[in-house]
Structure 1
Amino acid sequence: MDDISTSALFIFLLLLILLSAYFSGSETAMMTLNRYRLRHLASNGHKGAERAQQLLERPDRLIGLILIGNNLVNILASSIATVIGMRLFGDIGIAISTGVLTLVVLVFAEVTPKTLAALHPEPIAFPSSLLLKWLLTILLPLVKIMNWITSTMLRILGIKSVKSSDALSQEELRTVVHEAGALIPRRHQEMLLSILDLGNVAVEDIMVPRNELYAININDDFKSINKQIINSPYTRVLLYRDTVDDAVGFVHMRDALRLQSKEQFTKSSLLRAVKELYFIPEGTPLNVQLANFQKNKEHLGLVVDEYGDIQGLVTLEDILEEIVGDFTTTMIDAPSDDITPQTDGTLVIDATINIRDLNKEMGWDFPTDGPKTLNGLILEYLEDIPSANTCLRLAGYPIEIIEVSDNMVKNVRIMPEFYDASQS
């Protein structure tokens, strides 16, 4: 370097610092790229995204290439800085050049480009991928040798290289949906999260319980049957013989009314119009049952326990409401008919309400891993059938039992203003 002027060395040093900044920024930009957005852009034909995706398919080679380039540049820059320091300051110039170069490299070739690349990865990664791909083609033998040496050392140390996966777990996907912000409307976020929760909810959590089924005993007087069909609030009604466990099938009100119009309405003709029963095992997750409804082309089914006893009824609409919300709700966020606000701030609640519905509507946190109704939860907690005016604290909420009949808690008063989180 004796024949090269000091000014030329300065220019060469500046170019090396710029190259170092390029390698540092490119490394951060490539590693910071959003993999899912990258795939989206690449699938739409974005050339820069396609090159970046190809490079990231072998991150070990990409990192090896960048480290080789960055270290070669920094070592060469250090040598040139030493020569310049000795020419300008003599022997003490070695120390001066080392200190100055370290500061310059840290600020201009490391921190600044890496920070910029972390903030704006795509504008840096996509153009730089062109040069990186060209360099990788040239230096591939050297990169392979370095990676082989590295992997050999890791094996000697007993460390196995495991290929990382970009697949998201359910909780990670939930976080992505939460952090989408304005990119996904809040209502759509709620629906996506509800879909993720389907696997954690079983059919018995949302079914219409057995004692609330609207069903018709086919052994009743025919006039009574006819009256029940006319007054039915549902399009399909369950027919049974004396007990719900001896269910006959579902009859569509359209078919029953058609028989009435043709004056062919008898018990025999009604039984011939019955649709075959579809049974659902208790404990079936909602996501599985949704697929089963679709596969079997069914819209409703009876939930049975391990002994074959009917526990309730689940419809396709019930599952869809878990995703999109209640179809019958109004535009106003008003409490359901089971919840009656009082002037003193307390709430009178029908104790047969489903706990999951109560938690969802009021934002409460009653346990859902046991009984399905508030009545069942109270009975489990007290281990006895209480009398009216009994008070207790459950899940942090003070509860007063208002009415008890037929061995059930009918109505309770809950005082949310006295909620105690330490009791939950």
Structure 2
Amino acid sequence: MDWIIIVYLAAITFCLYMSGRFSGTETALTALDKIDISKMVNNGEKHAEKIEYLKEHMDQTITTILVGNNVVNVAAPTLVTVMVKDLVGNWAVSIASGILTLVLLVFGEITPKGFSLKNKKRFSKKNAGMIYYMSLGLKPFIKALNWISDVLINRLGGKTDFDEMEVSESEVMHLATMLEEKGIIKNIEKKILQRVFWFGDQKVKNVKVLKEETYALDSNLPLKEATDFIKEHGFTRLPVIEHDSEEVIGILYSKEIIGKEKGMVKEQMREPHFVSNDDDITEAFKWMRKNRIHQAVVRDEDGEFDGIITLEDILEELVGEIYDEFD
């Protein structure tokens, strides 16, 4: 009879152990972010690629863990019930079940989840192999369960794609504030993050230099006068307007007229590039970078000259004022 008790106790202990592993692994994998995993893969850490796979197939991973956890959590009380009923009697079953519930809560849930949350990489690497091979072995069964779950979730109007889970701007900024308080990031880094969110909602008209604050050269201006003007003010490029009008017909680059004193501005100007007031600043920035355009002319809704915008103006919205030798 003694060996039967030992077998029962060993089986119950194993169930508790596996319950802890399943619960802890779920918490650890959920806590790991893409940056953590990318570093692990790049460093060639053990089981890093398995962890990456599990994270990329999180719906399959979670279902696998839940299946395993439920099996051992059902098996443990069943074994306790049978053992106590055979050894003591029916009257002790309720007491034993209550004790087991407490033990499962402490050793199968609270303790492993708390430990894995603080040691997510270590716990994930230790258990990734087990979950990985379980998910592959149970794949048809897991897919069937997930399909049933997705149908029910869709009927309730919920989302079923883990990749579609959204993080709000306020949540990111709250995290940034916490990181700043802990000294993990600096205040300037937090401010740049704030500017990034602001930047994404802006139009060209919010960042441009107004026409009234812009210098422009007459197309018929002699190069000698243009050179003197550029030297005096330190410009690297200026818009060129049609004689006796406000229509921008070109851009004059200072480096291209160095040493040239004969001729007119219109003979040395380049073709201008245009953006509209209502263009998204992010799209304008991408376009200017892609085409290596440092300065663009801004047009209003009527297609008329309304200001200029430079890469420097755009970058200053993200990092603050950029001073050069002419500022």
Taking structure 1 as the reference length, the TM-score comes to 0.63
Aligned to 2:27: 28
2:237 aligned partner:
236
Which runs of 5 or more structure 2 residues have no equivalent in the other structure? none
- 8 A Cα contact 1:216 1:228, kept in partner: no
Q: Is the 8 A contact 2:240 2:251 kept in 1?
A: yes
- Is the 2:153–2:160 Cα contact (8 Å) retained in structure 1? no
**Partner SS, residue 287 of structure 1:** helix
Give how far 1:165 is off. 0.6
**Structure 1 residue 196: Cα displacement:** 4.5
Worse-superposed segment, 311-320 or 2-11:
2-11
Residues 221 and 265 of structure 2 are in contact (CA less than 8 Å); yes or no, is this contact kept in structure 1? no
Secondary structure of the 2:260 match is helix
Distance in 2, Cα, partners of 1:141 & 1:239: 69
Check whether the contact 1:203–1:284 (CA below 8 A) recurs between aligned residues. Answer: yes
Q: Does 1:323 align with 2:323?
A: no
Q: Deviations over 1:265-287 (max 9, x none)?
A: xxx44432233333322222222
Deviations 1:190-216 (A, max 9, x none): 445534543322222232222222234
Partner of 1:416: none
1:12 aligned partner: 11
Matched, 1:281 2:279: no
Give the distance between the partners of 2:225 and 2:17, measured in 1 at CA: 92
The SS at the match of 2:233 is: coil
Aligned pairs (5 A) from 1:124-163:
124-140=123-139, 142-143=141-142, 146-147=145-146, 150-151=148-149, 154=152, 162-163=160-161
Q: Which amino acid aligns with 1:328?
A: Y
Offset of residue 123 of structure 1: 1.5
SS state at 2:91 partner = helix
**Distance change >3 Å, CA 113–CA 221, structure 1 → 2:** closer
* Residue 159 of structure 2 is aligned to residue 164 of structure 1: no
The answer to whether structure 1 residue 77 and structure 2 residue 76 are counterparts is yes
SS class of match (2:169): helix
Q: What is the distance in 1 between the residues matched to 2:62 and 2:119?
A: 19
Q: Name the count of aligned residue pairs.
A: 323
| Maintained 8 Å contact 1:38/1:53 | yes
Gaps of 5+ in 1: 331-336, 338-424
Following superposition, the deviation at residue 43 of structure 1 comes to 4.5
Alpha carbons of 1:257 and 1:179: their partners in 2 closer, same or farther (altered >3 Å)? same
Matched, 1:113 2:103: no
Matched with 1:341 is none
C-alpha spacing 1:19/1:88, structure 2 compared with 1 (3 Å) = same
Is 1:63 aligned to 2:58, yes or no? no
Quick one: percent identity of the two aligned structures?
A: 27
Please show how residues 10-409 of structure 1 align to structure 2 within 5 Å. 10-86=9-85, 89-140=88-139, 142-143=141-142, 146-147=145-146, 150-151=148-149, 154=152, 162-165=160-163, 171=169, 174-175=172-173, 181=180, 182-217=183-218, 228=229, 231-240=232-241, 243=244, 245-256=246-257, 258-260=259-261, 264=262, 268-328=263-323
- Deviation, 1:298, is 2.7
C-alpha contact 1:215 1:239 (8 A) present in aligned 2: yes
Q: Name the SS of the counterpart of 1:245 in structure 2.
A: coil
Whole-Å separation in 1 of the counterparts to 2:91 and 2:3: 21
Matched residue type, 1:119: K
Which letter maps to 2:259? R
In structure 1, distance between residues paired with 2:240 and 2:146: 72
Relative to structure 1, the CA distance from residue 40 to residue 178 in structure 2 (aligned partners, 3 Å threshold; closer, same or farther) is farther
Instruction: Select the structure that is richer in strand.
Output: 1
User: Residues 35-67 of structure 1: CA distance to partner in whole angstroms, max 9, x if unpaired?
Assistant: 442244234433322112323444444334333
Q: Is the 8 A contact 1:20 1:74 kept in 2?
A: yes
Distance 1:131 1:204, change over 3 A: closer
Query: Larger RCO: Structure 1 or Structure 2 (Cα < 8 Å, ≥ 6 residues apart)?
Result: 2
Q: Does 271-280 or 181-190 show the bigger shift?
A: 181-190
Q: Is the 8 A contact 2:288 2:311 kept in 1?
A: yes
| TM-score using structure 2 length | 0.78
SS at match of 1:327: coil
Quick check: 85-94 or 169-178, which moved more? 169-178
